[in-house]
Amino acid sequence: MELKDFVLENQKIIDLVKDRTGGNTQVDMYYGTLDFATARFHSILIRLSQDRLKEQQYRAEVIECFETIQAFYRNVQRYRFWPWIAKPFIGTVLHGMGTRRIPKIKFLLEKINN
């Protein structure tokens, strides 16, 4: 995948976050996480687009971050629309992703900036 393909795939997430309506604080927290993660990921893509060597060096980590954002997005959608009986399980999955996988995006951004 080219860097622009990552941005195009994330467009549905950006539209969802931009057009959301508030009300449920738990879902709003998940949207905030998606917003921050997507913004950081796009900052990473901007930095990498300026240096082809770094792009090749961090290729695997970029793909991992992209897949993390996509998985988090899918699970937020499940949390919103699935029956109430599944919400505790999906909430646990989201919590695990938010504490283990989402911080890798921030660490990659810091690594690329330095």
pLDDT in tens, 13-23: 888 887 776 67
Are residues 2 and 62 in contact, defined by beta-carbon separation less than 8 angstroms? no
Place of tokens 């449920």: 24
Q: Is the distance from CB of 68 to CB of 102 less than 8 angstroms? A: yes
Would 3 be classed as within a structural domain?
no
25 vs 43, higher pLDDT: 43
pLDDT tens digits for 35-91? 899 999 999 999 998 888 888 899 999 999 999 999 999 999 898 888 889 888 988
Assigned domain for 6 exists: no
Instruction: Say how many domains are in the chain.
Output: 1
* pLDDT at residue 89 in the model: 92
Segments forming the whole domain that contains residue 88: 23-113
